[in-house]
Amino acid sequence: MTTPLQPVGWTSTQLTVPGSNARLALRHCSPQGQAQARVVLAAAIGVPQTFYSAFAEWLAAHGYAVTTFDYRGHGASLHGPLRQARADLLDWAQDCLAVAQQLRAQDAAGGVQRPLLWIGHSVGAQLPGLCQPALPVDGMLAIACGSGYWRDNAPPTKRKALLWWWLVQPVVTTLCGCLPGKRLGLIGDLPAGVVWQWRRWCMHPDYSLGVEGEAARQRFAAVRYPVHALSMTDDEMMSLRSTQSLVGWYSQAPQQLERLSPGEAGVARIGHFGFFRREMANALWPRALAVLQAWTQGQSVLAPEGQMPAANSATVAAKRLPPDLDRRVG
């Protein structure tokens, strides 16, 4: 186990999402004394917030106040039977917004001015683009993210996609009134509304933008905070093409895509989930920390030499742009 650089501590809170009766379970890991910035860790679909505890503690040991949470109807934010949970992915986007707004308000009430940074794992980097208004954050680090369109899935997932979306998921969700993924040894437990909407997105070439329409496209285009994506060469779910698609939808945001390979990191495998495992503390976590530190200090972030820009091989400057500057990528 890595020895913390600073002592850290955990606290738990509840947040009622404005305009709903949804109550979210939040966990906060903070260093002793004043943190230099806040970080929100947004989970992948079906993954409980506790999966990210080791990474949250490591970031807190480096001086960041880290918040994790479970989306409504999932994990510790599930209240009552799963089949009775009423939630979809657009609701989860509003959960993201509520968490970011609360943390901003808490700092403002305490007279504290510091950056608020977002780390999204997989769907945790998709949902911010659907928030209205845009998340009040100073940067998003997107890890193992991408469009979920099935034809753009990485080969191991693509080979199973049609069987999953046309047989397993519809049958199980219809029979159970939810997706009891843990019992089936699949992804985590999900409310029916989430998994049905996810299915519609994954079957459309433009994913959420194709299903939710022009309003969704405009919400992605309203984002101005920088987006830095870390893509794994051995990700079994997200291909490079899918990551480029997602990052490209943040069309007005400064953006950069960085590829990480197991060989260069000195590990046998990373995959879709491996980045957050404790054994990656020395191999991978410092790269994420470097991005956060640069944003915390008000600096632009560029990937190491030889890395590609984000959107369709366009030239992208990772520099914060004024909101009124019309800049398109791709």
Global pTM reads: 0.90
Cβ contacts of residue 45 below 8 Å, gap of 6+? 122, 123, 187, 188, 190, 194, 198
Cα 257-91-212 angle, rounded to 5 deg: 65
Query: 46 and 188 in contact (C-beta within 8 Å)?
Result: yes
pLDDT at 137 over 50: yes
**How much helix, strand and coil, in percent to the nearest 5, is found in the chain?**
40, 20, 40
CA geometry: angle 177, 178, 184, nearest 5 deg: 120
Tens digit of each residue's pLDDT (9 = 90 or more) over 54-73: 999 999 999 999 999 999 99
Half-sphere CA count of 96, side-chain side, radius 13 A: 34
Question: Is the CB of residue 288 less than 8 Å from the CB of residue 141?
Answer: yes
pLDDT given at position 302: 59
CATH fold of the domain at 8-296: Rossmann fold (3.40.50)
Domain boundaries, the chain: 8-296
Read off the tokens for 276. 């957050």
DSSP assigned state of 37: E
Give the model confidence (pLDDT) of 181-214 as tens digits: 888 777 789 999 999 999 999 999 999 999 999 9
